[in-house]
Structure formats: C-alpha cells, structure tokens
Amino acid sequence: MERKKIHQHGPFLSRIIAGAWRWHEVNSKVVEKLIQESLSEGITSFDHADIYGDHENEGSFGNILKQNGSLRNKIELITKTGIKFKSSKRPSTWIKHYDTSKEHILWSVENSLRMFHTDRIDLLLIHRPDLLLNPEEVANVFEQLKKEGKVLHFGVSNFSVRQFSMLQKYLSFPLVTNQIEISLSKIEPILNGDLDYLLEMGVCPMAWSPLAGGKLLAKGKKIVTDAEKYSATVGQMVLAWLLRHPASIFPIIGTTKPERIKELAKATNINLDRQDWYAMLKSSMGEEMP
C-alpha cells in the first residue's frame, strides 16, 4: 500500500488508517492480530484517542508494543485529546465537556505516552472544537511538546474552516490534518467548501466513519452500481470513492475483524472512473448534478 505525506511538512502515513476506537470490544490476542494483519496489508498508521474504550484502548495497544520492541518503529501512532466525560476512571469529571487547557493537554500527552509505552506520538489531534479554546495557550503547549520531541506533528479533528484557520494563525508550524466525517452518507464536506479549503492549504483530511458505521455496506447496490466492473466489494468501492478525491483523503477503518482489514486494504488498488464516481454521488444525493 502507498504511504504518503499527509502534509508537505507532515508525516508519511498509510493511505488507509486503522482505527482503534472499537478495539476494546475484542481481547488482546485479536488486537495483536488486527495490528499484524494491518501491517501485512501495508497499513502502518493507527488512530487512537485518549477516551477510546473508556480510556483503556491506548493501554491495550501499548501492552502489545511493550511486548514487541521492534514494532514501534514500524508504525505511526495518532491520538487525540480534549474530550472529557463522566467515568469511574476520571472521578473529577461530572459532565461531558471539552478541555484544551495547557494543563490538560500536557497531562493527556504524558498519559498517552505512558499508556503506549513510547517516547513520542507521531500525530496529536485536538479531538473536538473547545468553545473555551485559547489559541495562544494551545499554540504554546504545542510548541513545547514539539520542542521536547514528545509530539512530532499536530492537527485537529471536527474543526470548521474558520476554527482551523484561527488556530493555524497562532502556530509557527502547520497543522497537518483535520479529521472529519466524510463518506457517501456524509458528503457535506465535499460540497460546502471544507475540502476545497484543505486543498488550498495543502492539508490532507482524514475521514472518520467512511463506511457510515456499516450503513453503506447494508445499502449495497443502492449506492454502488459498478462493483462487478471493478471486481470489488461494496466496502472497497466506498473507500475507493473517497480515495479518488483530489484532496487525498485518508480513510480510517474501524473494524474489529482482521479479515475485513485484508478486504478493505485492497480499495487502494481501484482506479475509479470519473463517471462512476459521479454515479455513486448521484446515488447518495438521490438526484442528478445541477
């Protein structure tokens, strides 16, 4: 599988990223198999967040890294910070909210490093736009973490164009991605200028829920009309539709099944025809292009 820079000054990532948000649903042996199957298919980038699995997924993944010392240098670790919710593991939090204070980001990064058993995070994202975000404070802590070598690159998730550009203004280095929901069931970023802005800035987006939580697989031929033409599955076609966009979208697949990783990784081999791309868009929109 191709590896590509997500930004001119960003890291090389695999064109499809393995998402670990549901990996708490399976045991450690399956998690290890998911990692190995990903690597065997050329998927080297793994997407996490400090809150996934009620704050436990990073640790489960990290235990496997600890047991296999050579594994860390074969992968890229992506994780997120900034969301807090009520949990027995975080007794001081009594309401779901967002926290991008310097204190929380520093604590969160140190905790993620400890959970992963590593000395660096390849890419750290602000998970959600914090309505109390102080851009100078966030820029300051990002600069500190970069200088210390604890985080190599930074980005955001679920940010609007305005929120992205506002934070970028305060940084001396670029935000390298915006992780947003994009799929054939969530086409707004393609139509409303979000992807146009990222193209202009040279920033490749990551797409979370690219299969719409499996709903697109259930719709099957209602969305994908030419899977047979490409000798492809519905899942492969749905990902190929995203990969065809000039913004160089990096889909994040959140499966807990190793065989599904093997299947979906082959989406990178599909060169989707322009008319077929528009045909799939039409199926999603339910109408012709204007």
Among the listed residues 50, 46, 52, the one whose alpha carbon sits nearest the alpha carbon of residue 71:
46
Q: How far is CA 231 from CA 59, 60, 159, 195, 239, in A?
A: 39, 36, 36, 29, 14
Task: Give catalytic status of residue 52 as yes or no.
Answer: yes
Among the listed residues 232, 215, 213, 209, the one whose alpha carbon sits nearest the alpha carbon of residue 17:
209
| Active-site pick, 52, 98, 197, 230 | 52
Residue 189 tokens, joined: 């970023």
> Distance between terminal CA atoms of the chain?
36
Catalytic residue IDs: 52
